[in-house]
Amino acid sequence: MGLHVGIIMDGNGRWAQRRRRHRIVGHRIGARSVRRVVEAAPALGIGTLTLFAFSSDNWARPPAEVAGLFRLFRRYLRSETERCRKAGVRLRIIGRRSRLPVDLLEAIQDAEARTVDGTRLRLRVAIDYSSRAAIVAATHRLAVVPTEAEFRQALSRAIHDDLPSVDLDLLIRTGGERRLSDFLLFEAAYAELYFSDTAWPDFGAAHLEAALRAYARRDRRFGRIDAGLGEVRSAS
Ligand code: FPP
């Protein structure tokens, strides 16, 4: 299965503004970072990579920036689908589809259909995604009080119609902020958090590798205590 890593790709706008360029330039250069991390991920032991590309709250941005992002997503899907297919990457878009432009929806459907056989990396790109909205939508799918497994299944279905639920192992946020911003709140219950000051357009394979090295040093206890500490405690 491999690790499930999520990335909040932040800092594109500030990266561009620091260079006196339009914010969309930061997003465009950020798309190259997407390609770099997707290429690097399988060799680093990542089986599922979920990227936060457009939050449902991003609709509040100026219409020109929103339109520019959707254009970029569409172009990226068109240009990268074949590369993904050849590299064994299965691409899925998670989030709410009903508000997306038709040409983007078509590019999504085409990309998902053409990469359906990929087994090296499951790439999930979150567009018009809100974790809270997904949790609420999941409850609408359930008639009775669900078990955790039933709830997980409903939650997966709320963001994509064919998606296994996978807990997040590592959540990376670039761009210097230290918050979750409504991304995978349920799935990240025991995720290790890694915050990088590097802006997303500057992020590459070496930064991803550094995040995974930091992750490997973490002691994941899932609420339990270390075996050694248990002995000390029972002896006292
Ligand atoms: C956050 O930076 C980033 C986004 C809202 C868009 C992310 C999009 C890309 C990386 C483009 C390519 C993606 C794909 C999947 C092709 P920000 O604008 O909030 O930066 P700021 O905090 O500096 O303003």
The torsion angles phi and psi of 195, rounded to 5 degrees, stand at: -110, 130
- Token readout for 127 is 């567009």
* Structure token digits, residue 31: 């798309």
pLDDT score, position 162: 83
If pLDDT is split at 50, 70 and 90, which confidence band does 220 have?
A: confident
Record the tokens describing residue 162, joined without a space.
């064919």
Residues belonging to the active site: 10, 58
- Ligand 1 atom nearest residue 30's Cα: 10
Q: Which residues line ligand 1 (CB under 6 A)?
A: 9-14, 23, 27, 30-31, 34, 51, 53-54, 58, 69, 72-73, 76, 125, 175, 200
Q: What is the pTM of this model?
A: 0.94
Distance 166 CA to ligand 1 centre (A): 24
What's the rounded Cα separation, in Å, for the pair 115 and 156?
A: 19
pLDDT at 234 over 50: no
